[in-house]
Structure 1
Amino acid sequence: MNTPPGESAASARIGRPILALLLAAMLAISSAYGLLLLLPLYLKVLGGTEATFGALTAASALPAVVVLTGLLRFPDRVRPPVVLAGAAAVYALTAAALSQVGSIGITLGALVLVLGSTWAVIYTVGPMVVSEHVPDTARAAYIGYVTGTVQLGFGIGPVLGGSLHARGWTYPATFLFAAALAAVAAGLAYLSAVIRPRHSARSAAPADRRPVELRAALGRILRSPALRPLAMILLLACLFTTMNSFQTTFAQLRGLSFDVFYTGYTVSVIAVRLVMARFFRDTGTDRTVIVATAGVSVAVLGFLAVGSHVALYATFSVLLGGAYGLALPAIQARAVNFAPIGDRARMLPLAGLLFQIVILGFPMVAGAVIATFGYQTVFLVLFCLAAAVWLLSLQRSPRDSSGQLPVTEARPTASP
C-alpha cells in the first residue's frame, strides 16, 4: 500500500505488516457482521417479523452507549488493538451461541443485544488502531483504508451467506461460520498488538487524560453551526441502517437476490470513497453536498419503483451507494469544520456515538413500519428523511470574517 501524498515512509509509522494484519482483521469481522445480516430471515423462519428484529437490535443501543461513552472518556486506558481483539472474541463467542438457539425468546434477545453493542465497539475502535500510530497529516487516509475495508466486508458477508444458504447450509450454520471469522479477526488483532509495541506518532506533548466533559461539549456543539451537519448525519444514519438491515427480507419478498444490492452498493461506495474522491479538488463544497444528497433522495425514491425488476434494483443500489458514499464524508467534515474550535477534536467521536445510537435504535421504528404497513411505506418514510437532508444541504455554509470557511484542527475521517 502506497504511503499517502506528502508523507514519507518514515513518518507513516504503522508499517505494512501491521496495517495488513489490521485490514485483514477488519475484513474478517465485518464479513462476520454481514453474515449475521441474514438474521431477519432466520427470525421469519422462527415465526418473527421485521418488527421482531428491530426491537431486538434496539435493545442493544443502551449498553452500546455505555461502552462507547467509556471509550470516549478514557480512550487511552486500554490499547485500541487489545480492545478490538477482545471485542472480536466476544463477538465470536456470541455468534457461536446464537447458532445454537432455535426459538425466539430471552436467550436470543440477550445474544442479539451483546452482538449489537459489541459491533458498535468494533466499528468505533478499528479507526483508533491506526490513529495510534500515524501522524495527523496521514490519519484521514489510513482511516479511509480501514472504513473502506469494513464496507467491503459488509458486501461480502451477505453475499457469502446467501450463497452458503443456497448450497444447503442452515442459517445457524452460517452464524457459526460468522463466529469462526470473528475468531480469526480476534487473533489477527491481538497479533498486531503483540508485535507492535505502544507508540504514538502524535505530538510528543503529554496526552490530556482528563475525562471528556460530554454534556458541556454537546451543549456547545448544539449551539454552533455544526448542529446542521450533525442533524444530516443522524438522518442519513436512519436511512443507512434501514436499507442495510432489512434488505434481505425486502429482496426475498420481491423475488430478487439481495446479492445485487450488497454487491452494487458496496462497490459503488468504495469506488466513490477510494477512487473518484481523488479527482475532486474538494469533496466538501456546497455543490458536492447538494448533488450527493439529491442523489440519495432519487435512489431511495427509486426503490418504490423497483418491483421485481433486477435491472432497476441494481441501478438504484449503485446510485444509493455512490451518492451516500460521497455525501456522508463531506457532511462529516463539515461537522468538524463548523464546531467550536475547542471541540473540533472530539466532534467525530461524539458524532460517532450518536450515529451508533441511531444505527441500533432506528431499526425498531423501521421494522414496526414494515410489519404494519409494508416496504412501500418505509421507503416513503426514508425518502422524506433523505429530502430533509437535501433541504438542509441547500443552506449555505457559514463563513468567517474573511469570507472563508472555518479551518478544522482535526482531520475528518472516512464515514461509516
Structure 2
Amino acid sequence: MGVESTTHPRISRFLLFFLYFLAIFLQAGAYGLTFMLPRLFDSFGANEKIVGWMLLVTTVATIVTVYFSGHLSDLFGRLRTLAGACIAISVSLYLYGSLEVVGIWLVTASLLLGFGWGLTYSLGPIVLTRLVRADERVRFFTLISVFVMMGFGLSPVLASVLEGAGYSVRDAFYVTATLCIISATLFFFLDDPIKTHAINPRPEAPSRITLNALSGVVASRSLLPIVMICIGASVFAGMINFQTVFADARGLDYANFFLTYTITVVIFRLVLARFKGGQNPYRTIALLQYVMGLSIVVFIFSGAIFPLYLMVAFLFGIGYGISYPILVAMAANDAREDLGAQTLQLFALTYFVGIFGFPLIAGWMIVEVGTRPLLIVIAILAMMEATLALRRSMR
C-alpha cells in the first residue's frame, strides 16, 4: 500500500474525479454530433434514410463491441481501452467531416463510431464502481451522466455557433475529433491513479460476458431496467437525433431545444445528485417518464409556437434526464454482486440498440409517412416505459 499511495502523490481524489469526468465530457460530444448527421448528409445529397442506415451500421458495431468490451478491458485494462476507444471516435469524426459521398469510408466512419462509443459508454460507469461505495452509486452515476449530457447537448450548439460564424457543420466534427484525442490522453494518464484510489485494491474482477453470466443477468431483477433502457433510448433517439428535421419543418432553431434541454438536465442532475430515488425509486422513475411522455404529446400539437418548443425541451429534460441515472443505479443495485460489470455492459448494449437502432425506423417514417406519425410512436413508447416502472413499483 505504501508504494501505491506514492505513485502519484500529487493526484488527489478530487483531482482524479475532476480529470476523469473531464475526459468523459470531452469525448461525449461525439455522440451529440450524430444529431447533426441529417444536416451533414444533406450537404452531399443523402436523406434521412441514409442517416438511419449508417446509424444501423453503428448499432451493429456497438452491439458487437459491448459484448466483447469485457474481453478487451480484461486484456488491456479499462483505462487503456477507454483511451483506444476515444482515438477510434476521433478518426470516425474526422472521416464524417471530410467525406462528400456515400460509400465504404462512410460505413467505416460509422463502424469506428460504434466501436468507440460501445467501449466508452459501457466501461465508463464500470470504472466508477471501483472508486465509490454502493451507497454512493446514484450520486456518482448522476455526476457522470451530467458530464455525458453536457457533451451530448453542447456539441450541436457548437455546430450551430460555428455555422452562424460562417463555418460549416463539418468544422464541428473536426473540433470534436480533436477533443477526443485530449480525452484519450487523459484516460492514459489516469490509469495508475485510478488503481491507486480504488476502494478495493485487488485486481479488477473479470468483466467479460459469458453464457453463464448472460443467463445470470437475465434471471436477475436487473432484467427490467435493462429492457426499460432500450425503450427509453429509442424515445431519446427519436426526439433528439432528428430534432434538426423537426425544427426546420416548423421554422424553429434546433439550437434552442438542445440548449434548453441540456441546461435543464445539468441543473436538475446537479441539484438532485444526492437524491437516490426516494423510498420507491421505480415509482419516481415512472412519474418522471410520464412527464417525458407528456412532453412528446405537447410537441405533437405545439406547431411553431416558440414558448411551447422551449417547454417541450424543459419537460423532456426533466423526464428523461432525471430518470436515467436512477435507472442506471437500479440496474446496478438489482444485479447479482458477482455480475455487476456484466449487468452494466448489457445495460449499455440495450441502450445502444435503442439509440442507434431506432433511427433506422425513424428515418424511414420521416421519409415515407412524415414526422407526426413518428412522434405518436415515440409518445407511445414513452408511456410504455413509464408503465413498466409503475408496475415494478407496486411489487
State the TM-score, normalized to the length of structure 2.
0.87
Post-superposition offset of 1:235:
0.9
Amino acid at match of 2:119: V
Q: Conserved in 2, the CA contact under 8 Å of 1:135 and 1:201?
A: no
In structure 2, distance between residues paired with 1:315 and 1:111? 35
Q: Where does residue 52 of structure 1 map in the other structure?
A: 50
Gaps of 5+ in 2: 1-10
Query: What percent identity do the matched residue pairs reach?
Result: 28
Q: Conserved in 2, the CA contact under 8 Å of 1:268 and 1:318?
A: yes
Summarize the Cα distance change of 1:57–1:312 in structure 2 as closer, same or farther, 3 Å threshold.
Answer: same
In structure 1, distance between residues paired with 2:354 and 2:234? 6
Amino acid at match of 2:244: T
SS in 1 for 2:76: coil
Post-superposition offset of 1:170:
1.7
Amino acid at match of 1:64: T
SS in 1 for 2:196: coil
The reply on whether 1:39 has 2:37 as its aligned counterpart is yes
Q: Alignment partner for residue 230 of structure 1, among 226, 229, 236?
A: 226
Post-superposition offset of 1:192:
2.6
Q: Where does residue 175 of structure 1 map in the other structure?
A: 173
Q: Where does residue 8 of structure 2 map in the other structure?
A: none
Post-superposition offset of 1:178:
1.8
Which has the higher mean CA deviation after the structures are superposed, 122-131 or 203-212?
A: 203-212
Summarize the Cα distance change of 1:115–1:287 in structure 2 as closer, same or farther, 3 Å threshold.
Answer: closer
Q: Where does residue 199 of structure 1 map in the other structure?
A: 196
Q: Where does residue 360 of structure 1 map in the other structure?
A: 356
Summarize the Cα distance change of 1:60–1:308 in structure 2 as closer, same or farther, 3 Å threshold.
Answer: same
Q: Where does residue 349 of structure 1 map in the other structure?
A: 345
Amino acid at match of 2:66: L
In structure 2, distance between residues paired with 1:68 and 1:44? 30
Q: Where does residue 394 of structure 1 map in the other structure?
A: 390
Gaps of 5+ in 1: 1-12, 400-416
Post-superposition offset of 1:28:
1.6
* 1:65-88: CA deviation from partner (whole Å, max 9, x where unpaired): 222222234643322222222211
* 1:6-56: CA deviation from partner (whole Å, max 9, x where unpaired): xxxxxxx96122222222222221224324532210111211111111110
Q: Conserved in 1, the CA contact under 8 Å of 2:80 and 2:187?
A: yes
Post-superposition offset of 1:152:
0.8
Q: Aligned ranges for residues 12-411 of structure 1 at < 5 Å?
A: 15-73=13-71, 75-193=73-191, 196=193, 198-199=195-196, 201-203=198-200, 208-209=205-206, 211-213=208-210, 215-276=211-272, 278=274, 282=278, 284-338=280-334, 343=339, 346-397=342-393
Summarize the Cα distance change of 1:211–1:120 in structure 2 as closer, same or farther, 3 Å threshold.
Answer: closer
Post-superposition offset of 1:398:
6.6
RMSD, aligned α-carbons: 2.7
In structure 2, distance between residues paired with 1:352 and 1:261? 26
In structure 1, distance between residues paired with 2:162 and 2:66? 34
Q: Conserved in 2, the CA contact under 8 Å of 1:132 and 1:199?
A: no
Summarize the Cα distance change of 1:366–1:85 in structure 2 as closer, same or farther, 3 Å threshold.
Answer: same
Q: Conserved in 2, the CA contact under 8 Å of 1:22 and 1:192?
A: yes
Summarize the Cα distance change of 1:90–1:206 in structure 2 as closer, same or farther, 3 Å threshold.
Answer: closer
Post-superposition offset of 1:337:
4.9
Post-superposition offset of 1:237:
1.1
* 1:232-251: CA deviation from partner (whole Å, max 9, x where unpaired): 22111111122221112221
Summarize the Cα distance change of 1:393–1:250 in structure 2 as closer, same or farther, 3 Å threshold.
Answer: same
Post-superposition offset of 1:294:
1.3
In structure 1, distance between residues paired with 2:168 and 2:375? 30
Post-superposition offset of 1:339:
5.1
Summarize the Cα distance change of 1:77–1:143 in structure 2 as closer, same or farther, 3 Å threshold.
Answer: farther
Say how many residue pairs are matched: 385
In structure 2, distance between residues paired with 1:334 and 1:127? 13
SS in 2 for 1:395: helix
Amino acid at match of 1:43: F
Q: Conserved in 2, the CA contact under 8 Å of 1:14 and 1:134?
A: no
State the TM-score, normalized to the length of structure 1.
0.83
* 1:104-139: CA deviation from partner (whole Å, max 9, x where unpaired): 222212212212331222222333343344444445
